[in-house]
């Protein structure tokens, strides 16, 4: 997996996890204030993403040779470290929330 493909893949995972956590928090913490719910999503986000990626690494895809999987996993780990430093997570999560809210005002 080259670095660009890893960045695209990781961006998709960030968006997927962000949406999942926003909806989960909205359901579980319905009575809490918006800032509390936002912090609940924000706190530990990178660790949760890393756990998700680690779980995916354990999947043995029979059609992909092991050496190719290992190279891809190394690049993905490198890109995740870079993303932690580069991305403004608060802005990303707020944008995800805004898009989801615009799509269905009754849910969020």
Q: pLDDT, tens digit, for every residue of 60-101?
A: 777 777 766 676 778 888 999 999 999 999 999 999 989 988
User: Does residue 29 lie in a domain region?
Assistant: yes
In a domain, 9, yes or no: yes
- 26 within domain boundaries: yes
Examine residue 62 and state whether it is found in any structural domain, yes or no: yes
More confident residue, 23 or 107: 23
Distance (Å, rounded) from C-alpha 78 to C-alpha 32? Answer: 36
**Cα–Cα dist 108/80, whole Å:** 29
Alpha-carbon distance of 84 to 49, in angstroms, equals 10
Q: Which residue has the tokens 């912090």?
A: 39
Residue 61 lies in a domain: yes
pLDDT for residue 67: 66
Measure the CA–CA gap between 63 and 19, rounded to whole angstroms.
Answer: 30
44 closest CA partner among 18, 26, 19? 18
Q: Is residue 108 part of a domain?
A: no
> Among residues of the chain, what percentage have pLDDT more than 90?
38
In a domain, 30, yes or no: yes
Please determine, for residue 1, whether its predicted confidence score (pLDDT) is greater than 60. Answer: no
pLDDT at 15 over 80: yes
pLDDT over threshold 60, residue 25 = yes
Cβ-based neighbour number of residue 19 at 10 Å? 16
* Owning domain of residue 42: 3-103
pLDDT of the residue at 64: 74
User: How many domains would you assign to the chain?
Assistant: 1
Summarised one tens digit per residue, pLDDT across range 33-51 is 778 888 999 999 999 999 9
As a whole number of angstroms, the distance between CA 87 and CA 100 comes to 20
Q: How far apart are alpha carbons 33 and 51 in whole angstroms?
A: 27
CB 19 within 8 A of CB 96: yes
């Amino acid at each position: 997996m080259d670095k660009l493909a890893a960045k695209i893949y990781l961006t998709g995972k960030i968006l997927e996890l962000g949406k999942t956590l926003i909806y989960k928090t909205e359901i579980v913490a319905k009575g809490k204030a918006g800032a509390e719910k936002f912090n609940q999503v924000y706190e530990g986000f990178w660790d949760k993403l890393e756990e998700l990626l680690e779980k995916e690494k354990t999947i043995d895809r029979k059609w992909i040779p092991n050496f190719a999987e290992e190279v891809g996993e190394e690049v993905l780990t490198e890109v995740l470290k870079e993303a932690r430093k580069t991305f403004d997570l608060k802005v990303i999560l707020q944008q995800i929330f805004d898009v989801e809210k615009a799509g269905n005002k009754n849910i969020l």
